[in-house]
């Protein structure tokens, strides 16, 4: 029996010989597929808010993958891909400048806000996608800009994307520690990586078809705003679904005020409903 109570194998015994024989149990293909992406013993080895969060998180990753392809195409256009006057050396130097500014921003952000992320992991998880979407919109804007504003826009997008990486990575680590119940944090992170890989592949496949039909500035901007809106809404729903069991300043204030008003101690679900993300 595994952690979820599912019978994995049954045995029969022979009283005369004292021997035991294993009987292979049947399992559905759907369960075998789910076992690849869900922690062992699901749902008993994770908190109740794990699945709602993962559903919305997968949806936001899918929309972000498609939006990312549109922004990548815009960046390639701004770097001169397909333009005879474009310089490969200039594109490389611009990429180096963008990467350098982004990495410096990563160091500064981690030093300045590193300790604040864990107690406010829901806020920073949502903030990370705000930063990422801002970077995507800047990328789409770059083909229409002259040289120097284009350089500034690409560097700003690189900085925003780097800040997103720090905030999202640290916030996800804190959320994973919240979801894990039976010391299965490492496995939970591994399965989360598998889920993200599949969703990203599906997003790239859909996006590859998408970018072939979305042409023209008006169409690109229209679909970017739609995809960014879906991305932010699903991410907001994801963090709203999380019911943290620890107290930060806001959650402590909610609990204390309710206790002073009615003498009732709120449970994590009630606190999550009243908690503000932004």
Q: What is the pLDDT of residues 211-270, one digit of tens each?
A: 899 888 899 999 999 999 999 999 999 999 999 999 999 999 999 999 999 989 999 999
> Across the chain, what does the average pLDDT equal?
87
Region 59-72: mean pLDDT is 93
The reply to whether 229 falls in a domain is yes
In a domain, 61, yes or no: yes
| pLDDT at residue 180, as a whole number | 92
Q: Is the pLDDT of residue 88 over 90?
A: no
Q: Which residues of 237-269 are buried (b: 16+ CB within 10 A; e: fewer)?
A: bbbbbbbbeeebebbeebbeebeeeeeeebebe
The answer to the question of residue 22 being in a domain is no
Q: Report the pLDDT value the prediction gives residue 226, as an integer from 0 to 100.
A: 95
* Parent domain of 229: 47-241
The answer to whether the beta carbons of residues 142 and 78 sit under 8 Å apart is yes
In a domain, 20, yes or no: no
Residue 16, in any domain of the structure: no
Cis previous bond, 43, omega within 30 = yes
What's this model's pTM, rounded to 2 decimal places?
Answer: 0.85
CB 232, CB 129: distance < 8 Å = yes
Kindly tell me if the per-residue pLDDT of 91 is higher than 60: yes
What is the predicted pLDDT for the residue at 2?
56
Distance between CA atoms of 109 and 115, rounded to whole angstroms?
Answer: 11
13, pLDDT greater than 80: no
- Whether 12 is in a domain gets the answer no
Within-domain flag for 21: no
CATH of the domain at 155: 1.20.1250.20
pLDDT tens readout for residues 19-58:
666 666 656 677 778 888 888 888 888 999 999 999 999 9
Q: Is residue 14 part of a domain?
A: no
How many structural domains comprise the chain? 1
* Bridge-based pairing state of the strands 19-24 and 9-14: antiparallel
pLDDT in tens, 96-149: 888 899 999 999 999 999 899 999 999 999 999 999 999 999 999 998 888 889
């Amino acid at each position: 029996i595994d952690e979820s109570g599912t019978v994995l194998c049954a045995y029969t015994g022979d009283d005369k010989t004292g021997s035991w024989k294993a009987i292979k149990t049947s399992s559905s293909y759907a369960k075998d597929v789910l076992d690849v992406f869900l922690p062992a013993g699901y749902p008993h080895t994770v908190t109740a808010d794990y699945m709602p969060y993962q559903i919305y998180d997968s949806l936001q990753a899918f929309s972000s993958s498609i939006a990312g392809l549109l922004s990548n195409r815009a960046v390639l256009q701004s770097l001169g891909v397909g333009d005879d006057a474009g310089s490969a050396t200039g594109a490389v130097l611009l990429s180096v400048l963008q990467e350098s500014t982004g990495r410096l921003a990563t160091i500064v952000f981690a030093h300045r806000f590193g300790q604040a992320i864990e107690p406010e992991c829901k806020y920073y998880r949502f903030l990370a996608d705000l930063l990422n979407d801002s970077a995507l919109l800047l990328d789409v804007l770059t083909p229409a800009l002259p040289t120097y504003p284009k350089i500034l826009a690409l560097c700003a997008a690189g900085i925003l994307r780097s800040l997103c990486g720090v905030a999202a990575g640290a916030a996800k680590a804190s959320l994973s520690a919240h979801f894990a119940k039976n010391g299965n944090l490492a496995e939970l992170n591994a399965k989360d990586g598998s889920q993200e890989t599949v969703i990203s592949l599906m997003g790239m496949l859909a996006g590859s078809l998408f970018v072939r039909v979305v042409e023209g500035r008006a169409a690109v901007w229209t679909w970017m705003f739609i995809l960014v809106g879906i991305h932010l809404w699903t991410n907001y729903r994801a963090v709203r679904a999380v019911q943290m069991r620890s107290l930060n300043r806001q959650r402590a204030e909610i609990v204390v005020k309710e206790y002073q008003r009615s003498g009732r101690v709120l449970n994590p679900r009630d606190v999550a409903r009243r908690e503000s993300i932004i």
